[in-house]
Chain A
Amino acid sequence: MTQKMNKFNSLKKTTKVDFATYLGVIVVFIITTILQNNGSLKRSAIGLLVPICCYMSMAVSLNLTVGILGELSLGHAGFMSVGAFSGIVASQSLMGAIPNAPVRLAISMVVGAIFAAIVGLLIGTPVLRLQGDYLAIVTLAFGEIIKELINCLIIGYDENGLHFIFNPAGNKTVDDLGLSASGTAIIKGAQGATGTATIATFTAGFILVMITLIVVLNLTRSRAGRAIMAIRDNRIAAQAIGLNLTKYKLMAFVTSAALAGAAGALYGLNYSSLQATKFNFNLSILILVFVVLGGLGNIWGSLIAAAALTILPEALRQFADFRMLIYAIVLIFVMLATNNPQVKAFFQKLLPHHRASAEKED
């Protein structure tokens, strides 16, 4: 036992934090599940579980791009959108072949991740070769383009397979798909995906968050992760020691996109109706706010920020008309407080252990 304790104490601080993060997520999952099963959780809280898991996964994956890689991405919702709609198409068209909902959900999330990764690769390959803020500009445009593209997409499924129409002029409808009588429309252009079978579950959300954490944390602590952070901290030095800049940047960016795609698929399969306009610039910024509030490069911070900022607007419903106003004020105060040295000092005083470690670091 003491040997084990010694082993734990000899672990690096980052490793300890990583294990604490995993443990925290697992504990919260178990507590929430118990509360849900004995009926002490309100409906409004239960309804929030899946979106919170999606946003957590989105925030952690964006943190990989923004915090660890150090590139600004303003189109993370675009990847979520790609994942959501490809996941919905996969789930709806596999309905007959795979009636088992959890299996279908898993396949849909993998499909969503693959499509988002392909799109991430297409965007990252040219843009990540450049230096400066180009990724921010391109991802910003990408988010808007994806929104418009999906508005032009009509997809249906019948026994002959999938039917696609790309409809940029806006003059085609579901009737032009040529579906057979048993066929169903999955995505109807501007009307979005409607009538989706909602198969997302909290357990799937938990597994997604865990996978996201394992992928991101292991990538960060690996050799590749150290290379990625080296590029962030000093590009020229990293290049001088022979690191392939584009390769490592792409690695982080595509991983981030794929995880966002999986989160999107889960999100899309949680609601029976989804429009492309949901994944707009505001959502990208919201996810960026999660990351910034939680701390750049701070994975558990992203988790907490995503959960807190998803719950907050719902918790403020009792303020009726002043809800969004109070939300904004709370956000400003939290931003100020987390960056205020006096507040930080106050919390360090409260936690003597922290103070000791902080002093050691100094």
Chain B
Amino acid sequence: MVSGQVSLLADARPPFPPGVGDFFLPGIAGAYPWLTKFTLMVWFAVALIILFFLVSYRKPQLVPTKSQWLAESMYGFIRDGVAKEVIGARDGLRFAPYLASLFLFLLVTNVFGIIPFLQISPNAHIAFPATLAILSYILYLAVGVRKHGLVGYFKLAAIPPAPGYLLPLLIPIELVQNFITRPVTLALRLFANMFAGHLLLLVFTLGGFVLATSSSGLIKTFSPFSFLMAIVITLFELFVAALQAYVFTILTASYVESSLAESH
């Protein structure tokens, strides 16, 4: 967190505890308040992924080079492990490019959260997960409507196979789940994980400084443990970043699969 670090060097007392305000970064260029560190990081992530795939697939060879192998295995992991596995061998291939792009974009932007000097994931701001969740929402609605027709899809999404006397209870639940809860949880899960992870890092790093500048000698001795915990949390965040990218992708695939399912 850059602004936290700057004020840390300026003041004797570090700002503690960290709060929601630490996530609203100031604009970099004065005239463009929308141009923040997040915006630059998203552009950087997109450029990185596009360049990597262009370079590693410029001269494809039968015996792959190292970078070609990496690119192929990343795409293959999503195509075989998610698209074919969840959606099905026939329909899955159509969605593999979207799912692979989604996974790689999420992986790169999530890992930004622990890379020095970037140190915050764009996904720690609700706008970016919400946009991605809306994309997935539109995708699975459009796929469902195209396959079953408007009325057919609503029937599929609203009416579960259950005895008639349960339907008044189940139809509202299914409607809320398919049209409200799914996109909201998709966005919120990614956002809250990245937000909480960044907050944990702030708490332990700033907490180390707070303990070190304490007047009591006994409290000062606990400062290294706070920094040690920050290192442990950083490693844990690497795991969470990969897991959440995978979970977002697999849930999108599962929602698409439920839209494609034959009527009950």
A and B interact = no
